[in-house]
Amino acid sequence: MRIGLLFDAIFAALLAERVRWPLWLAVALGAGAAAYFGLAWEPSVAAGWAAGGLALAAAVAAMLIPNLWLRAGLGLVAALALGFGLARLRSEQVAAPALERRIITHLTGRIEEMDWSNAGRRLTISGLRSGRFTDGHVPRLARVTVRKGAEDLHPGDGITMTAQLLPPPTPSQPGAADFARASWFQSVGAVGFAFGLPAPAPLVAPAGWREQIALGVENLRARMTERIRSGLPGSNGAVAAALVTGGQGGIDPEDQDALRDAGLAHVLSISGLHMAMVGFGLFWLVRAILAAFPFLALHYPIKKWAAALALAGAGFYLLISGAAPSAIRAFVMLAMMLIAVLLDRPALTMRNLALAAALILLVRPEAITEPGFQMSFSAVAGLIAVAEWMQRRERVPRGVVWRYVEGVALTSLVGSTATLPYVLFHFSRATHYAVLGNLLAMPVVGFVVMPLAALSVVAMPFGLEHWPLQGLGWGIHVMLQAGKLVAGLPGAVSLSRAVPMAALVAVTMGGLWLFIWRGRMRWLGLVPMVAALAMFFAQTPPDVLVGDDARTVALRGPDGLLHFPGMPADRFTAREWLRRDGDERELAEAIGGDFIHCDGRGCVARLKGKTLAISLKPEALGDDCAAADLVIANATGPCHARLLDGAALNAGQGYAFFLPDVMGKSVAAARGKRPWANNAE
C-alpha cells in the first residue's frame, strides 16, 4: 500500500512538471550518442540506419498515441535511438586512414590551417603525398609542427618538408583520455614534427569554391594573429591573439599556469564569456545609439535591430576565432537568446539551453565526449537553475556595485561547482580560489580587455590598431598579475585521482535531475550524486602501470605512491600517470624506492605477495621468468611467468595491473574494437 502511494506521489510530481518534460529529449539524445561511444565493439553501418529508423517510428507513434505517458516514453526512445544512430553514421562520415606506426618521410601537401604553438607553427595539411604511404592508407589530414621557416606560408599554400609522423596518441592507461578518438572525428590520421625548414611546393589541384571560402577565413585569421602579435609582442600579445583568433600558442607557460590555477583558464578559451561580451556588448551599444534618435526609438523596433546586428557580429567573431567546439556552443546559445529577442520570447531559459545542446549533438554527436561541451553546458545549466530559483525569491534592493560583485561571485561559484566533476575527470585538478580570482580579474576583462580587443579588430582595416592594442596589453598585464597573485596563495590548487567513468555518469544524471526539475522531486538527484562520491572514494588505483615500450613502468609502493624503477623512456606518459594519480611530485622525485632492486640486467620488486621483474637484457629473461610472477621485457622466449614482451605491449598499447591479479587490463581492451583503435586486441 505504501509503495503504491509512493508511486502515485511520484507520478503526480512528474505530471505537475509536464512543461519541463521536453528538456529530457536533449538529455536522451546525448545519452544515445554516449551509448555508442561506450560500446566495446563497433556496430555496423546498418545498425546506425536501423537506429534512425527506430527513432522515426517511435516519433511517429508518439504523435499518434493519445496516452500521455506512452507518448513521453516513445519520445525518449526516439531521442535515444536518434543519438545512437547519428553518432554511428557520423563516425562513418569522417572515417579516414590513420598511420599504424612511426615513419620519417618527405611529405608534400596543402596547408589547411595554421596555429601558433610554443614549439613553433602547427600546420594542418591535406592532399598528402609521400612514397612511404601505402595505397589506400593515406591520411586525409596530418598535423605537423614546424619549428622555423613557416613565417611566410599561408593557408592554401603548397608545402614540402621532411617530417616524422606518428599515429595519433593512444590513452596513457586504461580509461584515460583517448586523443586518437578526437583525431578520428577531425579526420586527422597523423601527427608529428618537421626536420629543418619547409619549402613551397606546387599544388596538384586548385581548391574548390567551398575550400576557397574556408581558406579565405583561415588566411584572415592568420593575418589578424600576425597583426596582433607584431603590435603586442611577447606573452601579452599571445594572450590577445587567443582572445580574438582563438590560438593559444606562444603564451608563456607560467602565465598559462597562473590563469589556470586562479580559476581563470576560461578567459583564454573562447566560449560563453567572450561570445556574451561580444554579442551583448554589440546589442547594448547599437541599442543605445539608436535610442539617441527619438524618431527611431518611437516608431521602429530598435531592440530587434540591435539583436540582429549583435547576432551578425557574434557570427563574425565565431569565424575569426576558429570556430572551436566551445565557441560553437557559445554562439548557438547566444543565437538562441538573440532569436528569442527577435521573436519576443524569454531570452535565457533552460529550454533554449536544451535546444542549443540538441542542435550541436545533431551535427556533431561526438561533442558529448568533449570536455568543452560537458563543462560549458553543465556550468550554464547550473547558472540557469540558480537564476530560476532566485526569481522565485523576494528581491532585496541592492546597489549597482553590490549587484555586480554578487553576480561575479555567484557565477564563479556556481560555474566552478557545476564543472568540478568534469575537471577532475579530464584534468585531475581543482582550483580553490576561483571566486577570488574572478572577482579580481573579471572587472578588467569586462571593462578593459574585451572592449579594447573588439576596438582593435574594428581598427585593423584602417591600420589604426596600435593604440587599442597598447591598452589591451595593459589590461592583459593586470589580469595576469591578478592570476599570479591568486595562484600563489597557499592551497590554491590540489590534484586528485581521476574520477571513474561510472561516477561521472552518476553525477551527471543526478545533476540533470537537480537542474531540470523545479519541485521537491528535484532533490532526489542528490542520491546518484552521493553514490558518485562514494564511487570516487572507493576506487582502487592500479598497482602496476606499463607503457607500450617496456621501459616506462610505474609500481605502487607501500607508501601508496607510484615509483619508477628508473627514468622512464616516455616521460609524457609517466607525467600523465602521476597527474591522474593526484600526485604533485616531479618526475625525478618519483624515481626509485626501497622495495625496488635494480642492477645492470634489470629490476625486481615485491608487491602484495607477487614478484615483478623488468628485464633489460635478453640474457636475464630466463632467470626472471623462473623467479617472478610478472615479467616485463622487450625480449621474448619461453616463460613460466606472465610475460609482457614487445609484441604483447605493442598489441595491448600499455597495461594496468591490480595485484594480486597478474592478468591486468590493456589499453587496447579498454578502448575496444573501434575504428579509432586500429590495434585493439
pLDDT value, residue 282: 87
Same-domain status, 333 and 291 = yes
Mean pLDDT in residue range 208-223: 82
Note the pLDDT of residue 2: 63
Q: Is 540 exposed, middle or buried (0-12, 13-18, 19+ CB in 10 A)?
A: exposed
* pLDDT > 70? residue 367: yes
Whether residue 324 sits in one domain with residue 390: yes
- Say if residue 75 is in the same domain as residue 129: no
Distances (CA, A) of 609 to 315, 387, 626, 660: 62, 56, 16, 7
Mean pLDDT (whole number) for 331-354: 80
If you average pLDDT over residues 120-139, what whole number do you get? Answer: 85
In a domain, 225, yes or no: no
Question: Chain centroid to CA 665: how far?
Answer: 25
The CA distances from residue 304 to 292, 337, 351, 601, 608, in Å, are 16, 12, 21, 76, 70
Compute the distance between CA of residue 647 and CA of residue 658 in angstroms, rounded to an integer.
Answer: 22
**Nearest Cα to Cα of residue 202 among 105, 106, 108:** 108
pLDDT score recorded for residue 616 = 86
Grid coordinates of 180: 586518437
| CA dist 446 → 241, 311, 394, 450, 542 (Å) | 17, 19, 29, 6, 45
Specify burial of residue 348 (Cβ count, 10 A radius: 0-12, 13-18, 19+). Answer: middle
Q: What angle do CA 608, 609, 613 make, to 5 degrees?
A: 90
What cell was used for 561? 605512491
Out of 206, 224, 251, a domain closes at 206
- Residue 141 pLDDT > 80, yes or no? yes
Q: Report how far residue 227's alpha carbon sits from residue 219's, in angstroms, rounded to the nearest whole number.
A: 12
622-652 pLDDT, tens per residue? 888 988 999 998 888 888 888 888 888 888 8
Domain closes at, from 206, 225, 260: 206
356 found inside a domain: yes
Q: Are residues 602 and 526 in the same domain?
A: no
In a domain, 220, yes or no: no
Note the pLDDT of residue 547: 92
Q: Are 377 and 329 in contact (CB under 8 A)?
A: yes
Regarding whether 19 and 127 lie in a shared domain, the answer is no
Residues 131, 133, 136, 141: is their CA dihedral positive or negative?
A: negative
Q: Are 639 and 649 in contact (CB under 8 A)?
A: no
408-447 per-position pLDDT tens digit: 788 888 888 899 999 999 988 888 888 888 888 888 988 8
Q: Which three cell numbers stand for residue 34?
A: 554516449
Asked if residue 522 belongs to a domain, the reply is yes
pLDDT of residue 681: 41
Residues 257 and 345 in one domain: yes
Cα separation of 639 and 643, whole Å? Answer: 7
Average pLDDT over residues 93-100: 91
Confidence of residue 346 (pLDDT cuts 50, 70, 90): low
Per-residue pLDDT at 165 exceeds 90: yes
Contacts 24+ apart (CB under 8 A), 611-616: 612/544, 612/555, 613/641, 614/550, 614/553, 614/565
Query: Per-residue pLDDT for 1 more than 60?
Result: no
Average predicted confidence (pLDDT) for the chain:
88
Per the document, the length of the chain is 681
pLDDT of residue 471: 92
Domain assignment of residue 281, yes or no: yes
- Domain for residue 214, yes or no? no
What is the percent of the chain with per-residue pLDDT over 90, rounded to a whole number?
40
626: left (phi over 0), alpha (psi -120 to 50) or beta: alpha
pLDDT at 348: 64
**pLDDT recorded at residue 518:** 87
Judge whether 590 and 596 are in contact, CB under 8 Å: no
In the chain, how many domains are there?
5
Interacting residues of 127 by C-beta distance below 8 A, sequence separation 6+: 109, 110, 203, 204, 205
pLDDT at 222: 85
Closest CA to 145 of 214, 198, 106: 198
- Mean per-residue pLDDT for 380-390? 85
Residues 147 and 40 in one domain: no
pLDDT at 5 over 80: no
On whether both 28 and 167 belong to a single domain, the answer is no
Collect all residues with Cβ–Cβ distance below 8 Å to 426 and sequence separation of at least 6: 177, 371
Cell numbers at 373, concatenated: 561541451
What does the pLDDT look like over 273-298, one tens digit per residue? 788 888 888 888 888 888 888 888 88
476-513 pLDDT, tens per residue? 999 999 999 999 999 888 888 888 999 999 999 999 99
- 533-577 pLDDT, tens digit per residue, is 999 999 889 999 999 888 899 999 999 999 999 999 899 999 999
Pair 153, 79 in one domain: no
Q: Tell me, yes or no, whether 521 and 611 share the same domain.
A: no
Residue 228 lies in a domain: no
d(CA 475, CA 393): 37
- Whether residue 80 contacts residue 32, with contact meaning beta carbons closer than 8 Å, is answered with yes
Reduced to 3 states (helix: H, G, I; strand: E, B; else coil), residue 345 is coil
Range of the domain at 37: 2-93
150: CATH: 2.40.50
Do 123 and 256 lie in one domain? The reply is no
Q: What share of the chain is helix, strand, coil (3-state, %, to 5)?
A: 55, 15, 30
User: Which pLDDT does position 166 carry in this prediction?
Assistant: 92
How would DSSP label each residue in 538-590?
H----SEEE-TTSS-EEEE-TTSSEEBSS--S-HHHHHHHHHHBT----GGGG
Look at residue 11 in the predicted model and tell me its pLDDT: 76
Taking the C-alpha atoms of residue 448 and residue 454, their distance in angstroms, rounded to an integer, is 10
Q: Which residues contact 442 (CB under 8 A, 6 or more apart)?
A: 408
Look up residue 358 and give its amino acid.
Answer: A
- The CB-side HSE value for 29 (13 A sphere, CA atoms) comes to 21
Q: Is the residue at 445 inside a domain? A: yes
pLDDT at res. 516: 92
> Of 206, 226, 260, which marks where a domain is finished?
206
Helical residues (DSSP H) of 132-263, grouped into ranges: 179-184, 209-231, 234-245, 253-261
How distant, in Å, are the alpha carbons of 34, 504, 514 from that of 423? 18, 11, 20
- Angle formed at CA 458 by CA 454 and CA 462, multiple of 5 degrees: 150
Residues 470 and 554 both lie in one domain: no
CB of 468 closer than 8 Å to CB of 619: no
DSSP-based three-state secondary structure for 628: coil
> pTM of the entire structure?
0.88
Distances (CA, A) of 127 to 108, 159, 203, 378: 8, 10, 9, 39
